[in-house]
Structure 1
């Protein structure tokens, strides 16, 4: 099985490679369109800023490539947000796989919750094969200032300031706001479930 990690100058790739290695899978990091198209599984991770990431993808025509992929695709963190329609982060038009708006957390003045959310948070309403044998209320590791609003594509929910999408799914596209590669055993199980799709 060939598993490709899309390279687009957004951090976090090394930890994904380590997580795959723990599952006995060798990931290939590439922005080569032919390699991406030939992969059995595609992982689209990222930590960074939406507009510069989209610029990198468009310059290499990876935006068109990603939306046309037919194999299972997993977006992680920024990767999930870029699969949405639009992000408030620098007013960025994204890939539009999910017809969902990405918005910035607005913490009330009297609220002690800090933006960005950094740390462990539980996920609920788990609904899709990605979460098979993952217990309801499992804790995952999050680092983000922006969130995908709840929508018909929501297959897991988290709460920080408000309820938002912890995971999305549409056809062969799966996406998680948290970092499964940094989320201990349950996160590892999610990656394993993705690789089995």
Structure 2
């Protein structure tokens, strides 16, 4: 192991000081591998064996929602900023996803903005059905957070089996703060909780 002469661990320089260096352990006379090696890119859409479709081979959905993510300049809570929108709206003006307990729910995500949006649904797991029109063929891809890159389109499904009022938001928290928050609401469930600047309850 060699280090740069004259530099100690505490940053002081001296004739006898050396800079710490990395040590690679392995068989003798074997060179370290290239840090970038060729190989297939992991894709959970096609990874694993499909098995039985969790919601059946031809599911009938009780609710369908279409969410288009965008960005624009505008005012939010009295400030001029970059807005992160769902169907051209920002929190608290994004309509809630209204469901009934037991519903099988289908949601389409379309990202027309300039940034990734890791969409996080509280209290539920989503099954990824397709990406950009390509059906999922691997093992069931369950997740509560799905990253939707610019230009991507995903279809997901979930069972409404956890009654309550749940957040559904972008996990880039500055995006959530600047508008990309909505709610999953079960029919018949109510809360005295209010949001908005006057209440002190602001996203994230």
TM-score (norm 1): 0.23
TM-score (norm 2): 0.23
Q: Which has the higher helix share?
A: 1
